[in-house]
């Protein structure tokens, strides 16, 4: 009996081991959430058959819409995300493993940094439509957002986009913009909100 139990545990660990995901909703999260829900804003075929190319807007990098169109999770409605037991960890790494997300570096022909933590972080596997705005944790919504390496950490592109994500989440909660509009516009061009986001007082524009 003990041998059989060990074999079963080994198979289970193999199935859900490092870099893999069960695709199951973590305990304590709103039960309305389907972690596998994936509605891309444009239909694409992945993995892409051609190299993905970043594009520039207002001096910042944007992803290739043929590779990273952005995608939303239909079950992450505003009422669900306003529940006290909702957190982005309810969906993070549940549909796509952290290791699988690194495939996007190869898609964009970007060398994955060997040291990429703390003040040395130069790239982030960014959710184009952020999880706090109902974005998915799937590869059609993830791309490696990198640089510039010669600035302080808070001036790097992914940190400045964080400010936009927090700002828009606040605008949605305050009824100044609909969730659907925020999702579409951040996917189209997140830089259009940068001035407003960076001018917003921290207490008003912090993450929920």
Task: Indicate the pLDDT class of residue 130, thresholds 50, 70 and 90.
Answer: very high
pLDDT value for 203:
61
Q: Which of 18-22, 135-139, 146-150, 187-191 has the lowest mean pLDDT?
A: 18-22
Q: Which of 15-19, 148-152, 156-160 has the lowest mean pLDDT?
A: 15-19
**161/191 Cα distance (integer angstroms):** 8
CB-based contact 135:129 (threshold 8 Å):
yes
Give the tens place of pLDDT for each residue, 173-196: 999 999 999 999 999 999 999 999
Region 109-131 average pLDDT:
94
Give the tens place of pLDDT for each residue, 70-99: 999 999 999 999 999 999 999 999 999 999
Pairwise pLDDT comparison (78 vs 22), residue with the higher score: 78
Tell me the angle at which helices 179-189 and 157-173 cross, rounded to the nearest 10 degrees.
160
Residue spans of alpha helices (H) in 152-193: 157-173, 179-189
pTM: 0.87
Region 6-20 average pLDDT:
37
pLDDT value for 101:
96
Q: Residue 7 CA to chain centroid, in angstroms?
A: 36
What's the token pair of residue 179?
């969730």
């Amino acid at each position: 009996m003990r041998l059989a139990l060990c074999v079963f545990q080994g198979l289970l660990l193999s199935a859900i081991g490092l870099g893999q995901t069960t695709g199951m909703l973590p305990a304590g999260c709103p039960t309305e959430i389907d972690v596998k829900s994936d509605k891309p804003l444009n239909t694409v075929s992945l993995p892409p058959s051609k190299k993905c190319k970043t594009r520039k807007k207002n001096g910042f990098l944007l992803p290739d819409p043929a590779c990273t169109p952005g995608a939303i999770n239909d079950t992450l409605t505003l009422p669900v995300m306003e529940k006290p037991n909702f957190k982005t960890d309810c969906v993070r790494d549940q549909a796509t493993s952290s290791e699988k997300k690194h495939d996007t570096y190869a898609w964009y022909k970007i060398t994955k940094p060997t040291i990429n933590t703390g003040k040395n972080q130069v790239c982030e596997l960014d959710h184009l439509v952020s999880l706090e705005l109902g974005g998915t944790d799937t590869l059609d919504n993830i791309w490696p957002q990198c640089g510039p390496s010669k600035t302080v950490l808070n001036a790097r592109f992914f940190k400045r986009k964080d400010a936009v994500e927090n700002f828009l989440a606040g605008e949605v909660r305050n009824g100044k913009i609909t969730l659907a509009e925020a999702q579409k516009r951040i996917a189209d061009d997140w830089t259009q909100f940068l001035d407003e986001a960076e001018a917003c007082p921290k207490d008003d524009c912090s993450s929920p």
